[in-house]
Structure 1
Amino acid sequence: DFDAQANLTTGLGFDPDEQDSMAVVLQGEKQVKDIILKTSIPNMHLSPADAWLERVEVTGALAADRYSHERLKNILKPLDYDFIFIDTPPSICWLTESALIAANNSLICATPEFYSVKGLQRLAIFINNIASRHHLSVMGIALSFWYPRGKSNSDFQSVIESTFPGKLLKSKIRRDIAVSEATIYGRPVFKTAPKSRASDDYKALTKELLKKSKSKLALH
């Protein structure tokens, strides 16, 4: 969890105020292995977040490090996991830039709404600026809160296609109260509502992403 709001940490049943976050690792006070927590979900571990992450880059050791954006990448390198997901803030900031530099691929989540799509355009500029100095790869754009009969769907998709050509994923997450309920329980929607639309949609998205990741691995 690399977002100071710590929603992922809370959603998995942990109190952000009672856990050490990646902030202490970035500052060199602890090793990443010392803060990783086992969750109630088999084979899923969590590096928790806390409010300190919001200003971590302007305090302590990071404040004087001109290459601080690369520190997360170096921290994650020794870890032995099949997949490491970095949950970033919904804003363009130091945390987001560090995550993009550390990641092999990025998945951009958006909603079919005006401000979300405008945010994608700003993000595209941000990514292009980073790409001039680091290798970045956008795996795809995933749309949630999708309403199949939305009148402006085609307009939103056209803007996304022009901003990130060929990156809009086929799988879309439809609106479903089951997602909110799963969040309250701190459990995957596959467990709380296995027959829901959201469960079907997330399974389809997972399969699409796995297929894309295998293709990228084959290219390397």
Structure 2
Amino acid sequence: MPAATASFAPLPAGPVRRTRPPLLLGQPGSLRRTPLSWLIPAGLVLQLGVVLLWRSPGYAEGFAELVLVPVGAVLLGIIGWTSTRDAWPAIAITRHRLGRIMLARLLTLEVVLTFTVLIAGLLTLATGADPGRTLRAALLSLAVGWMLLVAAFWLTVRWSPGLTAAVNGIGLIVSLVLGAGALATSLWPYAPWAWAHTPASLGRTTTALIAMAALLLGTAVTPLVASALRRPR
């Protein structure tokens, strides 16, 4: 047979390099076809409905702090993992560390949560609410929401979305009873789902410190989530 021409000469074999896709840039696209596409508008429509029906700053703020933020944060945590679970074997072979991948995921979800809380705050201001109180409530809602988001994400990774929903559903009901009534004065530490609302009666400084401590604790859980994914299930 004639010798291979230069045009068809075999290329030298080299080492196979694993891909290194950008972490943060790829996150929004991976969430595009998830329930987030209708979950966030639905939550904001509910907030708008409360504003239009009652036209009261108290009702609007209470709904956002006791329902919209905790429920939305938990659902974000669940969706954040279930939308990644099937693709995780392919993601895990990239050159990125698992902890960094999880952190990028959580940061993206935090941006989504921040956007939702800010829009809900603007809707609340439309009722004539005090801007200073609304701003403080929004900051506390973000801290508490981040804590619940990370906790829900970790529970979903280690166990299942059903267990996460059950635990947070029970916690939300208990928090509504303890955090929205007279019992909040003495039992508020046992109702973390309502921590964004309880400062009105317990002092914003104390609750803010607790919420921020929970925020730091939630951030520290990220490496544990990554290590949990390496264990056989």
TM-score by length of 1: 0.28
Q: Which has the higher contact order (CA 8 A, sep 6+)?
A: 2
TM-score by length of 2: 0.27
More helix per residue: 1 or 2?
A: 2
